[in-house]
Amino acid sequence: METEQTWVPKKPFHYVYLLHHADTGLYYIGVRSSYNKPEKDLYFGSGSLLWDVYNQQGYFSIDQGKPKGWEKYIIASFPDRISANQFELQAINGERKNPFCLNCSNSKKLRLKQLLK
């Protein structure tokens, strides 16, 4: 019995993405390496404050599919993870004072409380 073979790239794709929730204005910047093409990758972040917001919205597992109200935008793709990490860090540093950026918080629980009022 023959098994169906699927094509897998030899190298992963490295990219920086932005998750945005239009109703609240909240957003998250992340970096990802995946064997899926960035536009086909179903990954929706791993930041702790991001997941606090997801949980507040009734989203608890990736098994639920795409988080409701969130859009994922691919900002840039890179030939290696080091370049992608550097770009992500610069992008986040540029947003340090923006209260809607879920990457940037000294007191995450306090910020979450303020943003979801």
Give CB contacts under 8 A, 24+ apart, made by 29-38: 29/75, 29/88, 29/91, 29/92, 29/95, 29/101, 29/103, 30/88, 30/103, 31/81, 31/84, 31/85, 31/87, 31/88, 32/84, 33/81, 33/84, 35/8, 35/9, 37/13, 38/13, 38/74, 38/77
pTM, rounded to two decimals: 0.83
pLDDT for 62: 86
> What are the pLDDT digits (tens) for 71-92?
999 999 999 999 999 999 999 9
Taking only the tens place, the pLDDT of each residue in 30-69 is: 999 999 999 999 999 988 889 988 998 899 998 898 999 9
- The reported pLDDT for the residue numbered 11 is 86
**pLDDT higher at 114 or 65:** 65
Q: Best-predicted range by mean pLDDT among 6-15, 73-82, 107-116?
A: 73-82
SS (H, E, C) 36-58: CCHHHCCCCCCCHHHHHHHHHCC
- Residue 79 is predicted with a pLDDT of 96
Per-residue confidence (pLDDT) for residue 108, from 0 to 100: 59
How far apart, in whole angstroms, are the C-alpha atoms of residue 6 and residue 8?
6
pLDDT at 16: 98
**Options 1.10.8, 3.90.550, 3.40.1440, 1.10.3470; CATH of 13-115:** 3.40.1440
